């Protein structure tokens, strides 16, 4: 039967033994690579409940078609398409048609 040791004796013994915990599992593993910068920045926007539901349905449909994406990528694509359309022809922009009733007077 093993002899009982005091905590102090056990700690002294442990300091003499080579540690082989997690390091033993990863011995010879390649050094970790640098992590790429995040693609997205966090922002907070408010959506109507129906819009969020439609986004969820679109995301699920794309996933069923085998397209791996997330909702941030979908919203980024929609934003880019809307901005490009507005930049090409601001007067005929679908954005103005959608928000037309919300025009505000410009202070001048």
Domain borders along the chain are 49-87
Q: Is the pLDDT of residue 27 over 80?
A: no
pLDDT score for 101? 67
Of 37-41, 48-52, 104-108, the range with the highest mean pLDDT is: 48-52
- The pLDDT mean for the chain works out to 81
Q: Is the pLDDT of residue 100 over 90?
A: no
Q: What is the 3-state secondary structure of the chain?
A: CCCCCCHHHHHHHHHHCCCCCHHHHCCCCCCCCCCCCCCCCCCCCCCCHHHHHHHHHHHHHHHHCCCCCCHHHHHHHHHHHHHHHHHHCHHHCHHHHHHHHHCCCCCC
Q: Is the pLDDT of residue 11 over 70?
A: yes
């Amino acid at each position: 039967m093993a002899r009982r040791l005091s905590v102090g004796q056990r700690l002294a013994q442990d300091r003499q033994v080579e540690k082989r915990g997690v390091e033993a599992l990863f011995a010879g593993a390649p050094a970790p690579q640098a992590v790429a910068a995040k693609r997205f920045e966090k922002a907070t926007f408010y959506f109507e409940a129906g819009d969020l539901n439609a986004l969820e349905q679109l995301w699920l449909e794309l996933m069923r078609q085998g397209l791996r994406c997330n909702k941030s990528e979908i919203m980024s694509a929609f934003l880019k398409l809307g901005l490009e359309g507005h930049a090409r022809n601001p007067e005929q922009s679908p954005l103005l048609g959608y928000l037309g009733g919300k025009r505000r007077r410009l202070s001048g």
